[in-house]
């Protein structure tokens, strides 16, 4: 990028200097531009502040006051209470923090604090802050502390008090407290804003159409808002930028994948699709019909399909995939379905064979445990185009697997296969196949578009009618015996059950021990008459498969398992699931687990055992109250936050998104996506002068991702 003063080290800004510059590194601030991009943590609207003189018992209020005196009071019961007297221009009040004596070291006399909480009656009025921030540190000398800060301003900044003023709080450190950051912005913001429009990449017309401010307006609103609403306008612009550049990387990847070389133009003869349709004992749901139109539409066009099919457990994804497979086959191409584990591949093969029985179409199964001779035969048939449909595991992408005419690849359970593996499904027989990725883990649309923006998205958001929902019960561990009684009743009726234990990676060995001990206890003490099996992640793959198979075939009544049963296992006879320490699972994970029961005719139960505190208990209650996987996924996103869900997508310390919030920026994301795709369609190399800036910023922000995708 052209040299800009914004690229110079932050140390050259006013009020910074080498020592502070060093401390700023901890906040990931190295350059002047980084300072500008330091995202405020919160805004407090000063117009919501109550004057101390006006505080009344029973109010819940925000107060700004200066610490006049402070100290720790011991009580007779041994509780230590930190108290500070806060003063503003109208009066004084005692603020009281029971059980937090350490605050005595944090707060100094002269500090100005913003505190929120109830006003109680306690030797007169007393404020009990729920939370507080120091909005202004006491200047040197006043709240005497050892040492001195040579870079500290000599004068105390007057606190803005005009109505409508907003207090901005930043992520800070001990060495760089709030007031230092505020002072830095105060001294430098104008100069930085004068430079930042040099980064502008949005034409005015586009910006206006999307109601986005210019960059300098945005940063002014972000750091110096007149109202919280204005701060939000600033954030929105910067969120757009983040989403836009991510979508741009993905649009480039998509272009590479689907437009650089033409895709297969499948021809719909209905020779196979119609008989399948006619053999079904039910009609397709509206969502299935819609999604099928999207998929078949891609396939008959001459662009390569790269589509992500999302749907809740049991929404009927396999059937949709089968129609796509039949379109490929009736046009003379081969199709492959790839699953992450052997047992899932087997299940898919069984399901497909079942559905294809009336059509008399064979389905081959290729996994690591298919023995040499049988494997050779399959490979030969694939090479010689005698085998139209194959289901398998990673075994399908070994070097010696050659297809005569591979036209379609369906990948089940996206998250187990990475970007690279999908790309390894290269060319067989002259053309790169169309790709349909299926996932049974519902995620909110905004998250799907962010994580898999290079794919087109199809959502199956409707379950076939006539399902009996799984009843979900939330119980304290003290009810365990009663729960076991319920399990025993289900087993006595010929059903099967799961008992699931969480396996937390950090303490894997301990947890494993706990699960193993519980297994022993259940086997010998609780259900001595029953056949009990154990399944956990540390077992060898063939051992796992053996246990799973025994359970599926009814050789085991009860399966004690860690989360390895999470994905896709289909045992219709299993009707009860008990989940221990339910609070340790994410909601989406619980939903996956629960999806393992209620797959047959038996009335089914999912019992969550938990000793969770109030917050987690509420979370579990949300889960117990709905079986809508997308609603649960949205709640999960809201509760856990997006950072947690990105996992491996993060590069270095950089959060993937600092301004954008996927729980509320979906519209913005769709705008960003449209713009990014439009640009790539018009100028796939980003080589026209109009896109020079876009291209520079993209390279600066996403070099790693561009490399991963081999684009740019």
> Whole-number minimum distance, CB 415 to ligand ADP, in Å?
15
> Whole-number minimum distance, CB 361 to ligand ADP, in Å?
17
> Whole-number minimum distance, CB 355 to ligand ADP, in Å?
7
Q: What is the dihedral of CA 101, 105, 108, 111, to 10 degrees?
A: -80
Binding residues with Mg ion: total (CB under 5 A): 2
Determine the interface stretch with Mg ion among 263-271, 324-332, 568-576, 655-663 (rule: CB under 5 A). Answer: 263-271
The only residue of 13, 24, 252, 319 in contact with ligand ADP, by rule CB under 6 A: 319
Could you please report the per-residue DSSP string of 60-116?
Answer: EEEEEEEEEEEEEEE-TTS-EEEEEEEE-SS-EEEEEEET-TTHHHH--TT-EEEEE
Residues 386 to 445 in contact with ligand ADP, rule: CB under 6 A: 440
Query: Which of 315, 561 has the CB closer to ligand ADP?
Result: 315
Residues 87 to 106 in contact with Mg ion, rule: CB under 5 A: none
Query: Which of 601, 681 has the CB closer to ligand ADP?
Result: 601
Binding residues with ligand ADP: total (CB under 6 A): 14
Counting every residue written for the chain, the total comes to 712
Query: Which of 66, 347 has the CB closer to ligand ADP?
Result: 347
> Whole-number minimum distance, CB 324 to Mg ion, in Å?
11
Could you please report the per-residue DSSP string of 675-689?
Answer: HHHHHHHH-TT--SG
CB count in 10 Å sphere of residue 581: 18
Determine the interface stretch with Mg ion among 94-102, 220-228, 262-270, 348-356 (rule: CB under 5 A). Answer: 262-270
Q: Is 372 helix (H, G, I), strand (E, B) or coil?
A: helix
The only residue of 38, 317, 536, 673 in contact with ligand ADP, by rule CB under 6 A: 317
Residue 41: phi and psi, rounded to 5, are -85, -40
Q: Is 352 helix (H, G, I), strand (E, B) or coil?
A: helix
> Whole-number minimum distance, CB 297 to Mg ion, in Å?
9
Residue 133, beta-bridge partner list = 114
> Whole-number minimum distance, CB 311 to ligand ADP, in Å?
5
Determine the interface stretch with Mg ion among 296-304, 475-483, 489-497, 556-564 (rule: CB under 5 A). Answer: 296-304
Query: Could you tell me which residues come within 8 angstroms of residue 29 by beta carbon, excluding any fewer than 6 positions away?
Result: 10, 35, 38
Determine the interface stretch with Mg ion among 49-57, 260-268, 474-482, 575-583 (rule: CB under 5 A). Answer: 260-268
Tokens of 488: 């025993």
Query: Which of 313, 411 has the CB closer to ligand ADP?
Result: 313
| Residue 317 contacts which entry, Mg ion, ligand ADP, none (Cβ below 5-8 A, type-dependent) | ligand ADP
Query: Which of 363, 620 has the CB closer to ligand ADP?
Result: 363
Q: Is 392 left (phi over 0), alpha (psi -120 to 50) or beta?
A: beta
Maximum Cα–Cα distance across the chain: 91
Determine the interface stretch with Mg ion among 229-237, 291-299, 447-455, 617-625 (rule: CB under 5 A). Answer: 291-299
| Residue 569 contacts which entry, ligand ADP, Mg ion, none (Cβ below 5-8 A, type-dependent) | none
Query: Which of 291, 463 has the CB closer to Mg ion?
Result: 291
The helix-helix angle for 317-330 and 342-356 (nearest 10°) equals: 70
| Residue 691 contacts which entry, ligand ADP, Mg ion, none (Cβ below 5-8 A, type-dependent) | none
Nearest to 200 by CA among 1, 38, 34: 1
Q: Tokens 């007149």 appear where? A: 226
Q: Tokens 């799984």 appear where? A: 470
Query: Which of 315, 449 has the CB closer to ligand ADP?
Result: 315
Residues 587 to 646 in contact with ligand ADP, rule: CB under 6 A: none
311 binds ligand ADP (CB under 6 A): yes
Query: Which of 310, 446 has the CB closer to ligand ADP?
Result: 310
> Whole-number minimum distance, CB 287 to ligand ADP, in Å?
9
| Residue 263 contacts which entry, ligand ADP, Mg ion, none (Cβ below 5-8 A, type-dependent) | Mg ion
> Whole-number minimum distance, CB 337 to ligand ADP, in Å?
11
Site string for ligand ADP, 237-266 (x = CB under 6 A): ------------------------------
Nearest to 128 by CA among 57, 199, 203: 57
Query: Which of 299, 356 has the CB closer to Mg ion?
Result: 299
> Whole-number minimum distance, CB 429 to Mg ion, in Å?
15
Determine the interface stretch with Mg ion among 295-303, 542-550, 645-653, 683-691 (rule: CB under 5 A). Answer: 295-303
- From residue 132, how far is each of 65, 113, 157 by CA, in Å? 11, 7, 20
| Residue 313 contacts which entry, Mg ion, ligand ADP, none (Cβ below 5-8 A, type-dependent) | ligand ADP
Query: Which of 176, 463 has the CB closer to ligand ADP?
Result: 463
Judged on CB neighbours under 10 Å (0-12, 13-18, 19+), 315 is buried
Q: Give dist(CA 642, CA 640) in Å, integer.
A: 7
568 binds Mg ion (CB under 5 A): no
Determine the interface stretch with ligand ADP among 199-207, 306-314, 446-454, 679-687 (rule: CB under 6 A). Answer: 306-314
Query: Which of 247, 592 has the CB closer to ligand ADP?
Result: 592
Range list of H helices, 271-363 = 273-279, 286-300, 317-330, 342-356
> Whole-number minimum distance, CB 571 to ligand ADP, in Å?
13
Determine the interface stretch with Mg ion among 145-153, 219-227, 261-269, 448-456 (rule: CB under 5 A). Answer: 261-269
Contact call for residues 292 and 284 (beta carbons, < 8 A)? yes
Query: Could you tell me which residues come within 8 angstroms of residue 401 by beta carbon, excluding any fewer than 6 positions away?
Result: 366, 379, 382, 395
CB count in 10 Å sphere of residue 167: 23
Element (H, E) at 311: strand 306-311
433 binds Mg ion (CB under 5 A): no
Q: Give dist(CA 252, CA 709) in Å, integer.
A: 9
Q: Give dist(CA 418, CA 407) in Å, integer.
A: 21
Query: Could you tell me which residues come within 8 angstroms of residue 181 by beta carbon, excluding any fewer than 6 positions away?
Result: 38, 170, 172
> Whole-number minimum distance, CB 597 to ligand ADP, in Å?
13
Residues 262 to 301 in contact with ligand ADP, rule: CB under 6 A: 282, 284-285, 288
Nearest to 169 by CA among 97, 225, 90, 125: 225
Query: Which of 464, 502 has the CB closer to ligand ADP?
Result: 464
Nearest to 224 by CA among 450, 25, 423, 43: 43
Q: Which residue number places its CB atom closest to Mg ion?
A: 263
313 binds ligand ADP (CB under 6 A): yes
Query: Which of 308, 605 has the CB closer to Mg ion?
Result: 308
The only residue of 117, 263, 314, 407 in contact with Mg ion, by rule CB under 5 A: 263
Contact call for residues 380 and 374 (beta carbons, < 8 A)? no
Query: Which of 438, 672 has the CB closer to ligand ADP?
Result: 438
Q: Give dist(CA 219, CA 296) in Å, integer.
A: 46
Q: Give dist(CA 710, CA 87) in Å, integer.
A: 61
- From residue 709, how far is each of 95, 348, 420, 657 by CA, in Å? 56, 30, 8, 19
The only residue of 17, 171, 275, 464 in contact with ligand ADP, by rule CB under 6 A: 464
318 binds ligand ADP (CB under 6 A): yes
| Residue 225 contacts which entry, Mg ion, ligand ADP, none (Cβ below 5-8 A, type-dependent) | none
Which residues of the chain form contacts with Mg ion (CB under 5 A)?
263, 299
Q: Which residues bind ligand ADP (CB under 6 A)?
A: 282, 284-285, 288, 311, 313-319, 440, 464
């Amino acid at each position: 990028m052209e040299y800009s003063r914004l690229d110079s080290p932050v140390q050259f800004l006013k009020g910074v200097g080498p020592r502070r510059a060093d401390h700023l590194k901890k906040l990931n601030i190295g350059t002047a531009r980084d300072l500008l991009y330091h995202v405020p943590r919160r805004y407090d609207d000063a117009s919501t502040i109550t004057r101390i003189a006006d505080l009344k018992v029973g109010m819940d209020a925000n107060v700004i006051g200066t610490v006049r005196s402070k100290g720790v009071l011991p009580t007779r019961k041994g509780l230590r209470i930190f108290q500070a007297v806060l003063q503003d221009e109208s009066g004084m009040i005692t603020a009281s923090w029971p059980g937090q004596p350490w605050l005595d070291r944090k707060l100094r006399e002269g500090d100005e604090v913003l505190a929120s909480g109830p006003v109680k009656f306690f030797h007169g009025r007393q404020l009990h802050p729920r939370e507080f921030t120091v909005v202004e540190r006491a200047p040197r000398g006043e709240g005497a502390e050892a040492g001195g800060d040579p870079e500290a301003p000599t004068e105390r900044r007057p606190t803005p008090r005009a109505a409508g003023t907003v207090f901005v709080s930043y992520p800070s450190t001990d060495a760089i407290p709030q007031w230092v950051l505020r002072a830095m912005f105060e001294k430098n913001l104008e100069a930085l804003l004068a430079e930042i429009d040099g980064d502008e990449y949005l034409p005015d017309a586009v910006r206006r159409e999307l109601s986005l401010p210019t960059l300098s307006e945005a940063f002014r609103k972000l750091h110096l808002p007149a109202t919280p609403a204005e701060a939000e306008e600033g954030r929105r612009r910067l969120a757009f930028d983040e989403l836009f550049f991510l979508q741009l990387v993905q649009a480039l990847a998509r272009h590479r994948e689907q437009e650089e070389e033409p895709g297969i133009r499948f021809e719909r003869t209905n020779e196979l699709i119609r008989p399948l349709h006619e053999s079904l004992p039910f009609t397709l749901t509206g969502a299935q019909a819609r999604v099928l139109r999207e998929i078949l539409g891609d396939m008959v066009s001459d662009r390569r399909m790269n589509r992500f099919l999302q749907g809740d457990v049991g929404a009927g994804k396999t059937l949709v995939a089968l129609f796509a497979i039949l379109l490929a086959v009736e046009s003379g191409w081969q199709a492959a379905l790839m699953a992450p584990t052997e047992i899932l591949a087997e299940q898919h093969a069984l399901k497909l064979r079942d559905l294809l029985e009336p059509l008399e179409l064979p389905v081959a199964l290729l996994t690591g445990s298919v023995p040499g001779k049988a494997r050779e035969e399959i490979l030969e048939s694939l090479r010689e185009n005698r085998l139209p449909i194959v289901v398998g595991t990673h075994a399908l992408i070994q070097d010696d697997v050659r297809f005569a005419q591979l036209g379609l690849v369906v990948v089940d359970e996206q998250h187990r296969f990475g970007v690279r593996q999908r790309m390894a499904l290269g060319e067989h027989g002259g053309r790169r196949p169309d790709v349909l990725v299926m996932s049974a883990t519902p995620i909110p649309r905004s998250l799907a578009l962010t994580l898999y923006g290079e794919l087109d998205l199809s959502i199956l958001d409707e379950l076939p009618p006539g399902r009996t929902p799984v009843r979900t019960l939330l119980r304290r561990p003290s009810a365990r015996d009663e729960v076991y009684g319920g399990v025993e009743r289900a087993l006595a009726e010929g059903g099967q059950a799961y008992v699931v234990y969480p396996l937390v990676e950090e303490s894997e060995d301990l947890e494993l021990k706990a699960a193993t001990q519980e297994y022993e206890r259940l086997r010998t003490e609780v259900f001595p008459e029953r056949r009990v099996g154990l399944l956990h992640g540390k077992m060898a793959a063939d051992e796992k498969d053996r246990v799973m198979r025994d359970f599926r075939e009814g050789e085991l009544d009860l399966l004690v398992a860690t989360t390895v049963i999470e994905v896709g296992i289909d045992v219709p006879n299993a009707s009860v699931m008990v989940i221990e320490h339910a609070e340790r699972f994410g909601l989406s994970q619980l939903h996956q687990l629960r999806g393992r029961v209620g797959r047959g005719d038996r009335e089914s139960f999912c019992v969550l055992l938990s000793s969770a505190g109030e917050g987690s208990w509420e979370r579990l209650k949300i889960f117990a109250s709905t079986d809508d996987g997308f609603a649960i996924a949205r709640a999960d996103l809201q509760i856990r936050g997006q950072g947690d869900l990105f996992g491996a997508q993060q590069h270095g310390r950089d959060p993937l998104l600092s301004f954008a919030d996927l729980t509320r920026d979906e519209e913005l994301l769709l705008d960003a996506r449209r713009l990014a795709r439009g640009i790539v369609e018009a100028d796939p190399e980003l080589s026209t002068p109009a896109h020079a800036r876009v291209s520079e910023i993209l390279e600066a922000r996403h070099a790693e991702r561009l490399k991963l995708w081999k684009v740019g």
